[in-house]
A and B are shown apart, each in its own frame.
Chain A
Amino acid sequence: MSKSHDHHHHGEGSELPDIALRVKSLESLLIEKGYVDPEALDVLIETYETKVGPRNGAAVVARSWLDEEFRKQLIEDASAAAGSLGFTGRQGEHLVALENTPDTHNMVVCTLCSCYPWPVLGLPPVWYKSAPYRSRAVADPRGVLEEFGVNMPDETAVRVWDSTAEIRYMVIPMRPEGTQDWSEEDLAQLVTRDSMIGTGLALTPDQLEAAKTP
Chain B
Amino acid sequence: MTRPDAQNQVLAALPSIPRDDEGPVFREPWEAQAFAMAVQLHAKGVFTWPQWAEALGKEIANAGAEDTGEDYYLHWMAALEKLTQANGVVSHSEFSDRKDAWDRAARATPHGEPIELGREQRERAAHGQSQPRAQTD
Contact = CB atoms under 8 A, between A and B. Distances in A.
Nearest to A191: B10
B4 interface: yes
Given A13-B111, A166-B50, 5 more contacts: A2-B100, A45-B35, A130-B68, A192-B17, A203-B10
A76 to B, nearest CB: 23
Interface in A6-61: 8-10, 12-16, 19-30, 33, 35-37, 40-41, 44-45, 48-49, 53-55
Interface secondary structure of B, over-half rule = helix
B14 A55 contact: no
Interface residues of B, number: 76
B13 A131 contact: no
A14 B51 CA distance: 36
A207 interface: yes
11 contacts: A23-B34, A23-B77, A25-B102, A30-B89, A41-B40, A49-B24, A114-B56, A126-B22, A148-B14, A148-B17, A166-B50
B16 A114 contact: no
A63 interface: no
A184 interface: no
A116 B12 CA distance: 21
B122 interface: no
